[in-house]
Amino acid sequence: MKHVDEYRDPAVAHALAAELRAAARGRWSIMEVCGGQTHTILKSGLTALLPEGVELIHGPGCPVCVTPVGLIDAAVELALRPGVTVASFGDMMRVPGTRRSLLEARAEGADARVVYSPLDALKLAQADAGREVVFFAVGFETTAPANAMAAWQAARLGLRNFSLLVAHVLAPPAVRAILEGGRSGVQAFLAPGHVCTVAGYEAWEELAREFRTPVVVTGFEPADLLEGTLMAVRQLEAGRAVVENQYARAVRRSGNAAALRVVAEVFEVCDREWRGLGVIAGSGLRLRAEYAGLDAERRFGLRADAREEAGECRAGDVLQGRLKPLACPAFGGRCTPEHPLGAPMVSSEGACAAYYRYGQ
Amino acid sequence: MAHGSGGRMMDRLIEEVFLPEFGGVAAHERHDGARLDGSLAFTTDSYVVRPLFFPGGSIGDLAVNGTVNDLAMCGARPRWLSAGFILEEGLPLETLRRVVGDMARAARAARVEIVTGDTKVVERGAADGMFITTAGVGMIEYGARVGPALIGPGDAVLLSGELGAHGVAVMSVREGLAFETEIVSDTAPLWAPVEAMLRAGVEIHCLRDLTRGGLASALNEIARTRGVEIEIEETQVRVPAAVRGACEFLGLDPMYVANEGRFCALVAAADAERALGILRQFDGQATLAGVVGAEGRGEVVVRGALGGRRVLDQLSGELLPRIC
């Protein structure tokens, strides 16, 4: 399969690994920001190919992991209301709220459905004018354009029974919070390729300058991650700190103009609570005033207030690279994918799920 | 719902609820069907697929082929089927006719007779269109004895063809997920390749069709029942390009996607090449994909293209597409 096979080619991977071993002299900690990258690393066994001094630390880029508990509770509560359908990406269904997940709520009779695209949620609303359809709009910059498009179309169509429960987050402010927190020991970042495909990487240039930290925009296949790591190590060894683009086949510096336009038309930047991390300034998106009529929190009078996490889950430390999943006392015993204490154990992009699944 | 997805939660349901009460033959064989008196095999399965029709087949094809294949996996020639229908009030008669037509065609292709049946109509909302339960009786031939208990270290693991087409075909027409694809279900009866191996005297130790939960669940079940490690070569697990594309796009792992016309055969090492030759007469994509390792924790391990080894865990919960 084109655009996949060439980046999974064992010969290419081994050649890059050899270059990496030759380039790395110091001890370096590099964070891959996106959970999709974490899964590739564990699934393809990349850690075994890295030189001893190079460590990859897993970052906060798991959209369902960072969606606040209060919003999940709000989604569950909505789905249990008669006449309301909550439509969500599949990943979101299993994430535990305070008491239950959307999937568990469905077993109790809630109408929670999996959609692959927000536009499919829109179709559900069009097909049944008597039902309120709420789309649970989660994700990073990557999912924002399609979600914005759903809001835009709903407004154009004058749909009265469609709304969005918005939990959008932005990647660079979270990385800034990690750098300002200063406890993770991360010396360079592999920036999330798909986020940058949409948003470009100017925001990452600011971070690289301000914190003198190398950033490499990196893809998701094994060869991408090895090459990204190699580029980061070369910068670290040379004492450079700039943004480089490994994922040039998809990413341009200024991002995707059409996608950014629809996002800016519908959403505006706001402060946002991250599950496990707390409130991060300027790290979220919310509907603009012109689209406030589509805001599910307003329409249904929800208060997605901050809620307590199940005591034992240390997702916050895992998401900031301070704790490896295997070092968590609950991992694999009291916390498993069937009985998760926290979101990183259930999401297909969660670091704990990756360790559990691939038995590392 | 996840209790029915063929993964770890369903195992728990079987172990904690059904086996303690029912016991009997089922308790020590843990196979898709039961072997009775040495010469008869008996099995049953219920079909609840949504939607009822999908590219390459329908619930009718599955209801016949699924049960036929459970018998074949016992090393038995499928002979007679029963069919029970639960119909939701208001189901169009035309829909029922189409499904029944598909069943008749599939039965002819598999050379089985549908000899008895039952129909119940329940009120609207109490069923989703229609549910079908089939039971099947088969004759164990060639003195076949197959089951996880017989496998041992060194046995070869063969796959009968490319994986993932059925699951992706069904997903492509499911509400909220619909996408355009050329992929059609692989639903097919599997007795012919099994019989060919038996007739040639291949020492078959275990057979398993790769339905719900896919290859990963089938191998985990076998590995755990027997307490051995099974190692699979990732490069020998073939997946059609279109299925790979859809899986990449949906965030699914083809190892976990359902098939309705694919099986794995665990055979004595000495017969591996011969068995592969026979399977390739039926499907050129059959592969020698792995080997049974030492006795141990009952894990399935995948050797990746890059040389790394990872555990292929059982499916936990339902297979759900990811976000981005």
- DSSP state letters, B30-53: -SSSEEETTTEEEEEEEE--SSSE
In tens digits, chain A (360 residues) has pLDDT values of 777 888 889 999 999 999 999 999 999 999 999 999 999 999 888 988 999 999 999 999 998 889 988 999 999 999 999 999 999 988 889 888 888 899 999 999 999 998 888 999 999 999 999 999 999 999 999 999 999 999 999 999 999 999 999 999 999 999 999 999 877 789 999 999 999 999 999 999 999 999 999 999 999 999 999 999 999 999 999 999 999 999 999 999 999 999 999 999 999 999 999 988 889 999 999 999 999 999 999 999 987 666 666 678 888 889 888 899 999 999 988 898 888 888 898 887 889 998 988 875
Q: State the Cα angle at B126 between B120 and B129, rounded to 5°.
A: 70
In sequence order, which ranges of chain B are alpha helices (DSSP H)? 8-13, 19-22, 24-29, 59-72, 93-110, 165-171, 191-199, 214-226, 241-250, 272-282
Give dist(CA B83, CA B118) in Å, integer.
7
Determine the distance in angstroms separating the CA of A271 from the nearest CA of chain B, rounded to an integer: 22
Measured between its terminal Cα atoms, the distance across chain B in Å is: 24
Enumerate chain B positions whose Cβ falls within 8 A of a Cβ in A.
1-2, 8-9, 175-179, 241, 244-245, 248, 250-251, 299, 304-311, 313, 316-318, 320-324
Task: Return d(Cα A190, Cα A218) in angstroms, integer.
Answer: 6
Min distance A103 CA to chain B CA atoms (Å): 8
pLDDT at B24: 64
Contact A116 B177 (CB under 8 A): yes
d(CA A10, CA A14): 6
C-alpha–C-alpha distance, residues A48 and A34, integer Å = 20
Measure in Å the smallest separation between the Cα of A240 and chain B Cα atoms.
31
Nearest Cβ partner of A8 from B305, B313, B321?
B305
Which residue of A89, A106, A337 is in closest CB contact with B323? A89
Nearest Cα to B191, choosing from B45, B71, B59, B30? Answer: B71
CA distance B171 to chain A (A): 11
Of A49, A64, A337, Cβ closest to residue B306: A49
- DSSP run (H or E) holding B288: strand B287-295
Return the residue of B nearest to A138 by Cα: B323
A44 chain-B contacts, CB cut-off 8 A: 304-306, 308
- Output the pTM of the full model: 0.83
For A90-143, the DSSP string reads: GGGGG---SS--HHHHHHTT--EEE-SSHHHHHHHHHH-TTSEEEEEEEESTTT
Query: How many other CB atoms sit within 10 Å of the CB of residue A87?
Result: 29
Q: How far is CA B180 from CA A349, B174, B184, B246, B254, in A?
A: 26, 11, 11, 10, 18
Sheet holding B130-140, edge to edge: B34-36, B40-47, B130-140, B76-88, B113-122
In terms of CA atoms, which chain A residue is nearest residue B304?
A44
B8-to-A297, A338, B217, B256, B264 alpha-carbon distances in Å: 37, 9, 8, 12, 20
Query: Closest-CA residue in chain A for B175?
Result: A115
pLDDT computed for residue B7 by the predictor: 66
* ipTM value greater than 0.90: no
| CB half-sphere exposure, A299, CA atoms < 13 A | 21
CB pair distance less than 8 Å for A45 and B306: yes
- Taking CB atoms and an 8 Å limit, are A359 and B323 in contact across chains? no
User: Which two structure tokens, joined as six digits, stand for A193?
Assistant: 């390729």
Work out the minimum CA distance from A6 to partner chain B, whole angstroms: 12
Q: Report the alpha-carbon distance of residue A89 to residue A139 in Å, rounded.
A: 10
- For residue B323, pLDDT beyond 60: no
Q: Do A43 and B310 touch (CB under 8 A)?
A: yes
User: Is residue B266 within 8 Å of residue B157, measured between CB atoms?
Assistant: yes
Three-class SS of residue B296? Answer: coil
Residue of chain B minimizing CA distance to A3: B245
> For helices A35-43 and A222-238, what crossing angle results, to 10°?
110
Q: For residue A10, list chain B residues with Cβ-Cβ distance below 8 A.
A: 305-307
CA distance A157 to chain B (A): 20
Across the interface, which of A63, A107, A358 has its CB nearest the CB of B323?
Answer: A63
**Ordered structural domains, chain A, with CATH:** 5-63+171-245 (3.40.50.11750), 65-170+255-299 (3.40.50.11740), 315-358 (no CATH)
CA atoms within 13 A on the CB side of A239: 0
CB contact under 8 A, B248 and A348: no
List Cα–Cα distances, B251 to A10, A217, B219, B244, in angstroms: 22, 21, 22, 10
Nearest chain A Cα to B308, which residue? A45
- The beta-carbon neighbor of B310 closest among A1, A45, A124 is A45
Q: Write out the two tokens for A111.
A: 């109408």
Strand, helix or coil for residue B189 = coil
Question: What are the structural domains of chain B?
Answer: 41-140 (3.30.1330.10), 148-311 (3.90.650.10)
pLDDT at B10 over 80: no
Peptide bond preceding B51 in cis form (omega within 30 of 0): yes
Which one of A90, A120, A121 has the shortest CB-CB distance to B320? A90
Distance from CA of A41 to the nearest CA of B (A): 11
B263: which residues sit within 8 A by CB, 6+ positions away? B69, B72, B73, B159, B160, B190, B193, B194, B207, B208, B209, B210
Of A96, A256, A67, A48, which Cα lies nearest the Cα of A169?
A67
Residue B82 three-state SS: strand
pLDDT in tens, A259-288: 999 999 999 999 999 988 889 999 999 999
